[in-house]
Structure 1
Amino acid sequence: MQVLRLLDRLLDHIETAIVAIGLTVGVIATFLEVVLRYVFGKSTGWGGELTNFAIIWAAMVGAAAGVKSGIHIGIDVWVRRFPPPVFKAVLLFGLGVSGLFTAAVTWLGVELVLFSMGTGQVTAEMLIPRWIPYSSVPVGMGLMTLHLAQQFVRRLRMSGQAILDELKAAEVSEGH
């Protein structure tokens, strides 16, 4: 268990770094393009593409981090009124369907990356292999699938009432 916790924390740090780097690169590239265009009348030619790829990577990995922290698990008010065992079943069903969806998109993303590698496609402006930006899909969705599976197993081990209590406590701590 200690090794799994260590790996989980390492993954947290990696996800945070990817998001921070992606957003930072996106902001710097955009700023550079604006200054070059409006002050010097020039452009890098690749700044827009770099911004797009950096933000896409940050968004895909950031969405996975959001799944891990539970911010994507939305439970409507009416679902919370169900008896705790029914509530738990609905929550697990939602996590399961979401996990299957993200797993399917991960698989399709891997196929796209492999296809792009096989054809040698490059991006229009930066001329880097297309599989690099395309990899954001299987990486982000794969991480989402992993985090959804973690949430599913964790919630499966809890009672419906314990899940409801945890959600209420989280709302109170967040000020909702």
Structure 2
Amino acid sequence: MNLLSRLHRFLLQAETLLLVTLLLSLILIAVTQVVMRNVVGGGLLWADAYTRISVLWLAMLGAMIGSRRQSHLAIDAFVRFLPARWKNLMARLNNGMTGLICFAAALFSSDFLLQEYHYADLAFANVPNWWCEAIIPLAFFVIALRYSFAAFLPDNQTNPDA
């Protein structure tokens, strides 16, 4: 196994580990917040902001994982009725267009992130907003790369074990 394959596998495992860790921490904080409000009469000051930001991260990480498995939502009613030789071409075009759209979303969300950086507002506990929102352009960029690669790989296959 070459270095690039090992790096790719490490990044996939890190992505999954981050998703699981974030989900578990979100559940733990949310349950703690509910218990504290009902028992103590108050909760953690930063818990609501953390919960909102965690949901954003979970959604974007989930989209990244969905893109690595190509298990995204698709409207393919038309494609189902095409001859087999055209299905591969349509899948490649679909992946290519998805990649382009996600590259555009990454570009626009990077501009948004830069604006948030200059605004310098805090999300919670002295954590800047732009740190919390950095997942948006990163996720769109990763998704764009995955679909762009899928558009050009032989037989339109990505790594099924990914």
TM-score, length of structure 1 as denominator length: 0.80
Distance in 2 between residues matched to 1:31 and 1:95, nearest whole Å: 40
Instruction: State yes or no: 1:54 paired with 2:54.
Output: yes
The Cα RMSD (Å) is: 2.1
Paired-residue identity, % = 23
Distance in 1 between residues matched to 2:146 and 2:28, nearest whole Å: 30
Q: CA deviation at 1:137?
A: 0.3
Q: How does 1:2-151 map to 2 (within 5 A)?
A: 2-72=2-72, 74=74, 76=76, 78-123=78-123, 125-151=124-150
Distance in 1 between residues matched to 2:28 and 2:142, nearest whole Å: 26
Number of equivalenced pairs: 158
Q: CA deviation at 1:73?
A: 6.0
In the alignment, structure 2 segments of 5+ residues that lack a partner are: none
Maintained 8 Å contact 1:105/1:141: yes
Code of the residue aligned with 1:38 in structure 2: it is N
Maintained 8 Å contact 1:113/1:134: yes
Range moving further from structure 2, 128-137 or 111-120:
111-120
Q: CA deviation at 1:135?
A: 0.5
Q: Point out 4+ residue stretches in structure 1 off by more than 4 angstroms.
A: none
Q: CA deviation at 1:85?
A: 2.4
In the alignment, structure 1 segments of 5+ residues that lack a partner are: 171-176
CA 1:71–1:41: 2 relative to 1, 3 Å: same
Alignment deviations for residues 50-92 of structure 1 (CA, whole Å, 9 cap, x no partner): 1111221122012111111121164635523311221112111
Q: CA deviation at 1:34?
A: 0.2
Distance in 2 between residues matched to 1:151 and 1:110, nearest whole Å: 24
TM-score, length of structure 2 as denominator length: 0.87
Distance in 2 between residues matched to 1:121 and 1:146, nearest whole Å: 31
